[in-house]
């Protein structure tokens, strides 16, 4: 399977970091950025679907947390925050497989082969240059 090393194309929130040789080749840069956009669209679609599926249950659980009584304000706040953290952690664990599915939806063997051969194969050349053992970049 086609995988560029982590330093060649990395996403942090809405910032993209490209390996310097990839960033200086306009065609490669454009191909990688378009691939990133496809990942963003896929993940956004999975997020929308997940939120729609879990919205009502989440609202019910928040309501339960808000109705719990406690002897004082501080204890009430701590109980609510603890319950919310547990609820969000559980939702994230359920969502993790959707994150992987969103990646797999974009990174099909066919799509990765097309990406690799784009720009006259320059992306594939960069991949080989980056992954040569002993090469420091």
Tens-place pLDDT, residues 69-94: 999 999 999 999 999 999 999 999 99
Tens-place pLDDT, residues 97-137: 988 898 899 999 999 889 888 888 887 787 777 665 555 44
Please, what is the angle between helix 122-131 and helix 109-117, to 10°? Answer: 90
Which phi and psi (to 5°) does residue 123 adopt? -65, -40
Give the list of residues 6+ apart from residue 135 with CB closer than 8 angstroms, or none.
129
């Amino acid at each position: 399977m086609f995988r560029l090393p982590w330093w060649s194309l990395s996403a942090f929130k809405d910032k993209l970091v490209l390996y310097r040789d990839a960033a200086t080749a306009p065609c490669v840069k454009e191909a990688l950025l378009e691939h990133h956009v496809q990942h963003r669209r896929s993940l956004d679609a999975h997020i929308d679907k997940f939120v729609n599926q879990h919205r009502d249950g989440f609202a019910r659980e928040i309501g339960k947390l808000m109705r719990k009584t406690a002897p004082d304000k501080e204890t009430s706040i701590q109980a609510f925050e603890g319950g919310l953290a547990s609820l969000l952690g559980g939702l994230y664990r359920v969502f993790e497989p959707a994150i992987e599915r969103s990646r797999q939806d974009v990174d099909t063997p066919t799509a990765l082969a097309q990406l690799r051969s784009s720009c006259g194969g320059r992306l594939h050349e960069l991949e080989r240059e980056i992954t040569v053992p002993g090469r420091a970049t």
